[in-house]
Amino acid sequence: MKEVAFGQYYPAKSFVHNMDARVKILAVIAYIVAVFLVQSFQFMGFAACLLFVLIATAASGVPFGKVLKSIKGILFFIILSAILQVFFNATGNVLVEWGFIKITDKGLLNAAFIVARITLMVIGASLLTLTTSPVELADGIESLLTPLKWLKFPVHEFALIMSIALRFIPTLLDETDRIIKAQKARGADFESGNVFKKAKALIPVLIPLLISSFRRADELADAMDARCYSGSKNRTKYKKMHLTWRDLIGVLVMAGLITGVVYLNITGFLAVVV
């Protein structure tokens, strides 16, 4: 659990770390849009997105292995999605047939397409949290949602909730690991048995984890109240966000990625039509 990278911050001094948090948030949103713009079986678009991730990872100074660890949290979902496409997609040419199970070439392509899309999205989102501290992320979200203040939307409080949630992800993972080790020391078995027995064995872990989470939330609320925290009312920023030349380069690279994906989709569509 400690190896799950999503939600953790990797401190470093790099090109990406020094970028404005607002630009990085918008860049990740644009990156996810680019991933969704890739049409079925146009894997060159995914190759362009992967190239962008590799360049961003190299510019961030974060080890690529640490970025890949973010996939562990959703590995079961990725495998399940691939299995559903492989065994229950009956379109295309049949490659293997066994009873009611048919494996087709289109099913395999759909499985690879879905796995690539989910993996690229998770890697891009984890790169944002790895290179942006929770405080910077909250400030960036609050700044981007500033126009909603005219609609009486609690922008500051929403950004604070997001920041606290990201901050406590590694804390809860460490707490879960500590509880599991304590239960194993008392003779608990989390590895043997079928899926249902393993799920039932997790109940002694979930209850103390839930109690610990409420206790931490109560302690945090008391600490904020003791420091006279009053939301966004009359609050100023300790650090002002400013756009620099790094942010301009990031915007240009992201615009180039979206343009490239759209171009690949158009050329692929024209090739199919012709």
Instruction: Look at residue 1 in the predicted model and tell me its pLDDT.
Output: 47
Q: Does 135 share its domain with 253?
A: yes
Regarding whether 245 and 220 lie in a shared domain, the answer is no
Residue 57 lies in a domain: yes
On whether both 198 and 123 belong to a single domain, the answer is no
Q: Which amino acid is at 25?
A: I
Q: Is 191 exposed, middle or buried (0-12, 13-18, 19+ CB in 10 A)?
A: exposed
248 plus 208 within the same structural domain: no
The one-letter amino acid code at 260 reads: G
- Residue 128 contacts residue 60 (beta carbons within 8 Å): no
Domain count along the chain: 2
Query: pTM of the entire structure?
Result: 0.75
pLDDT tens digits, the chain, 274 residues: what are they?
455 555 577 888 888 888 888 899 988 888 888 888 887 666 778 888 888 888 888 888 888 888 888 787 778 888 888 888 777 776 767 777 776 677 777 878 888 888 888 888 888 888 888 888 877 888 888 888 888 888 888 887 888 887 787 778 778 878 888 888 888 887 777 777 666 777 777 777 888 888 888 888 888 889 888 887 776 666 666 677 788 888 888 888 888 888 887 777 677 644 444 4
Strand partners, 94: 104
Q: Are residues 136 and 197 in the same domain?
A: no
Range of the domain at 10: 1-154+240-274
Same domain, 65 and 98: yes
Answer whether residue 222 is part of any domain.
Answer: yes
| Within-domain flag for 142 | yes
- pLDDT number for residue 270: 45
